[in-house]
A and B are shown apart, each in its own frame.
Chain A
């Protein structure tokens, strides 16, 4: 256990030693702040009209849900870049040997690496959450829904990170790992689109789609189906990463 923490801390710190983490945090915060402000603007414009309608969408629906939705898409692009180097770079720099010959198991290595990079994304999700929280100064929020969005985004990045970690374990070059992660994630993201066409509706595709589960959670409906989807997704890729790192020793 302490080994996992050692590796996770080191991974987390190393992100902040290089400009990478800072750049990602700054740029994402700028982009999302811009989107957030446009959303606030829209709300103030249509607020008078909404006041007249019964059961109209509130502040949370109009501002928070789109904000987290956009964050999800942006993270789909960014996570592969953050995770691509996890194992791949260590292997290329031959520093993986240091971990493999130390008295720690591959499980420790993989989970440590995973938690380390998830730490940065957790920080990012928290920073994003500060924006809707700022609305509390002058308005009221549906805290339940905000929490659902927070949870949805967190589960989403957990799944993204696990995929990225696995690709980084498999790929020989960080760019390939990033491209592979991006490919898998985008495919799973858009898998649901064909479900729109009535004739070709596929329940399997619908179930596999990340987007579908993400949106379900975002709508405030925290169902065990969606949560277990994300947990299973994450666990699968972590297990695959462990397997693949173990395989490194068996054959080269």
Chain B
């Protein structure tokens, strides 16, 4: 199947600062790609380039078979974009605004009403459809922004931090919406919240200082995070070399003489042997807590790696 988005060797310079450095990836139908990175990593710049708002310094972007630079209008037809600040005309009502967007996206006249109603329903905007956007709460404005991006049923939806400033219930609703949309569209979602990626994405991509440092499916990522840790406290100081001899243990770090962090490989869980060793040597086990490893750790580890 053809890729919805193909990005090749994308560079973007602001003066001498390189904001996006040789980024390349693809997006297929049914994928929800989480674009992850700390502030200033180049997420928004990449998204602006994908949406045609910013010309890349060099590189190629192909959307649905059309080169964004050579045939911008054809490429943009399959694109829905929600920037970090939703582009809303606050003096219009939700209905008027969506109608204008429909016209901009050249939705045929007889299909406009249907498209608007469907989108309003999807984004939960039915109740506010005749209110002025200026009078809506931030959450509703964000939803109008999303509505604007999915109105013309584009193949590719680009959402730049769609859940910023929303309350937890709204975040949940939007995540559900994203998962729903992800079934028959390709979605790129940028965020700096890891949890969000774990909840709504199928693939994840980490960008740091303009470079892609990881591109994985969520399952692959979880697999890649196959090292886990145990926090062990003993009453007497343990002999590290004896513990290290157990197969599956990668590393042991001392917190104090009595407290250890043991990193091991999940494929071959050595917890049982650790306990047995401790008891057999009479070090008196006092505490044994598994340390939950989140994507946060991977993220920090990866970004630290590329800094050093």
Contacts and interface: CB of A to CB of B under 8 A. Distances in A.
Interface stretch (B79-87, B209-217, B226-234, B295-303): B79-87
A98 B91 contact: no
B88 A104 contact: no
Interface string B47-77: 0000111110000000000000000111011
Contacts of A201: none
A101 B81 contact: yes
B294 interface: no
A95 B79 CA distance: 17
A252 B14 contact: yes
Q: Which of A99, A101, A252 has the most CB of B within 10 A?
A: A101
Nearest to A94: B85
Interface in B67-120: 72-74, 76-77, 79, 81, 83, 85, 87-92, 100-101, 103-106
A105 B73 CA distance: 7
A96 interface: yes
Contacts of A94: 83, 85, 87
Given A14-B91, A249-B52, A101 B73 contact: no
A101 B54 contact: no
Contacts of B89: 14, 95
B259 interface: no
B91 A103 contact: no
Given A98-B87, A252-B14, A2 B106 contact: yes
A249 B106 contact: no
A97 B85 CA distance: 9
Q: Which of A100, A102, A249 has the most CB of B within 10 A?
A: A102
Interface string B219-256: 00000000000000000000000000000000000000
Contacts, number: 65
B87 A97 contact: yes
B101 A103 contact: no
B87 A103 contact: no
A7 B91 CA distance: 16
A103 B81 CA distance: 12
A143 interface: no
Nearest to A98: B87
B74 A103 contact: yes
A179 B92 CA distance: 28
A104 to B, nearest CB: 6
B148 interface: yes
> Contact residue range for chain B?
20 to 34
Contacts of B106: 2-3, 103
Interface in B149-167: none
Interface residues of A, number: 25
Contacts of A105: 72-73
A95 B53 contact: no
Interface string A58-78: 000000000000000000000
Contacts of A252: 14, 54
Interface in B258-277: none
A26 B54 CA distance: 42
A98 B98 CA distance: 12
Nearest to B104: A102
Contact of B91 (A18, A97, A99, A249): A18
Contact of A103 (B54, B76, B83, B85): B76
B117 to A, nearest CB: 20
Q: Which of A94, A99, A100, A105 has the most CB of B within 10 A?
A: A100
A250 B72 CA distance: 14
Nearest to A105: B73
A210 to B, nearest CB: 33
B79 A101 contact: yes
Contact of A97 (B53, B74, B92, B103): B53
Nearest to A2: B106
A100 B53 CA distance: 6
B104 A249 contact: no
B53 A249 contact: yes
Given A3-B104, A100-B53, A102-B76, 17 more contacts: A3-B106, A10-B100, A14-B91, A17-B92, A93-B87, A96-B87, A98-B87, A98-B101, A98-B148, A99-B104, A100-B52, A101-B51, A102-B104, A103-B73, A103-B74, A252-B14, A252-B54
Interface of A: 2-3, 6-7, 10, 14, 17-18, 93-105, 249-252
Which 8 residue pairs are nearest across A and B when measured between Cβ atoms?
A98-B87, A103-B76, A102-B104, A101-B51, A95-B87, A101-B81, A103-B73, A94-B85
19 contacts: A6-B100, A6-B103, A6-B104, A17-B91, A93-B87, A94-B85, A94-B87, A95-B89, A97-B51, A98-B87, A99-B104, A101-B76, A101-B83, A102-B76, A103-B73, A103-B74, A103-B76, A105-B72, A251-B14
